[in-house]
Amino acid sequence: MLIDDVTIKVSAGNGGSGAVAFDKNKFGVGPTGAAGGNGGNVYFIGVPELDALKQFRFKKELKAEDGKNGRGQFMDGRTGEDAIIKVPVGTVIYNLDNLSEKMEIVNVGEKILLAKGGKGGKGNFFFRSSRNTSPMQSQSGLPGEAFNLRLELKLIADIGFIGLPNVGKSSLLKELTNADPKVANYPFTTLEPNLGVYYDLILADIPGLIEGASSGKGLGMKFLRHVERTKILFHFISADSIDVKKDYLTIKNELKEYNPEMIEKQEYVFLSKTDLAQKEEIEKKIKELKKIKELKNKEIIAFSIFDDESLEKVKTVLNKILKEKLKGL
């Protein structure tokens, strides 16, 4: 099961306390108490593994190491070890203690400081003076920062496959890439997003959406957020649909209700599973789709994963997008 929304608490390490210590010498008793070490910081670092958030399924609190206390003979305490936590690229971090603060991990290897360790306290050596050559004063270390966080994964992909359940998105992903999504001929086979790679393009198979998804029906809200960051949408309508216009508009309306900006994304429209319909029926359904204003002048690509010739049409579109991506690098 993909964990893509968790609430955790992170705590940086506390600073170590400064020491009170003395060393007898021919000039008298001199202070040698050293400073405590700083507490460790908490960092998040981006990794490509989608399932990296599963570490928080049962472990809800993470803490960096406290700084060590200072000692005599000017021996400062050791700095606490940092806690470096791996999270998937595409993770949005909400600070629940400061609702205006939001951060994002968008690149592999990107490192963000989440909580800063407390500063170590000063030892009595720091407080020596001409008037007080043997101070008994020292400082305690300061507490590290601690925050309650919500982590929400939003996939980052070049192309997102969208449509109603059982329109053939997962089958196409499996055909084009090495991904191995669960495929069967019934709705809601796909219950979590699947990623595949077509050369240098990242393809995301978004689980099927239904009417009311934008208001939380089914698992709609969970799935729609994964569409937000995909750059291009491949919209699939099944050739065995009773009402292709309704199917198309249902998905478009749900995208608009969730986030109006999502319907502005570049979109390619496909009539899938053409092996389930006669040629005349396929042509009729393409004409029906073209009655929709935004599809009037748009090419609608009909294909079946069992027909190599029609599948090449899909690959032609992918190759065009790939060429444009590589040109922009």
pTM: 0.66
pLDDT at 71 over 70: yes
CATH of the domain at 130: 2.70.210.12
The reply to whether 171 and 67 lie within a common domain is no
Domain boundary (121, 136, 153) is at 153
Q: Which of 153, 180, 212 is the last residue of a domain?
A: 153
Please check whether residues 182 and 95 belong to one and the same domain. Answer: no
Q: Give the residue numbers spanning the domain of 79.
A: 5-153
Q: Which residue has the higher pLDDT, 235 or 185?
A: 235
Q: Is residue 222 predicted with pLDDT exceeding 80?
A: no
Helical (H) or strand (E) element with 324: helix 308-328
Q: Judge whether 173 and 196 are in contact, CB under 8 Å.
A: yes
d(CA 153, CA 104): 10
pLDDT tens-digit readout, 109-156: 999 999 999 999 999 999 998 888 889 999 999 999 999 999 988 777
SS3 state at 102: strand
Q: Is the pLDDT of residue 212 over 70?
A: no
The tokens describing 128, both together, are 């020596």
Considering only residues 213 and 297, tell me which one the structure prediction assigns the higher pLDDT: 297
| In a shared domain, residues 188 and 48 | no
Same domain for 66 and 106, yes or no, is yes
pLDDT, average across residues 216-220: 46
Q: For the chain, how many structural domains are there in total? A: 2
Question: Do 185 and 84 belong to one domain?
Answer: no
Q: Rounded to a whole number, what is the largest CA-CA distance in the chain?
A: 107
Please classify residue 327 by burial: count the beta carbons closer than 10 Å to its beta carbon, then call 0-12 exposed, 13-18 middle and 19+ buried.
exposed
pLDDT of 28 reads 59
**Shared domain check, 142 and 238:** no
> What is d(CA 80, CA 104) in angstroms, rounded to the nearest whole number?
26
Higher pLDDT pick, 18 / 154: 18
Q: What percent of the chain has pLDDT over 70?
A: 88
* Contact status, residue 263 vs residue 235, Cβ threshold 8 Å: no
Q: With 50 as the cut, is the pLDDT of residue 185 above it?
A: no
Question: Quick one: pLDDT band at residue 1, thresholds 50, 70, 90?
Answer: low
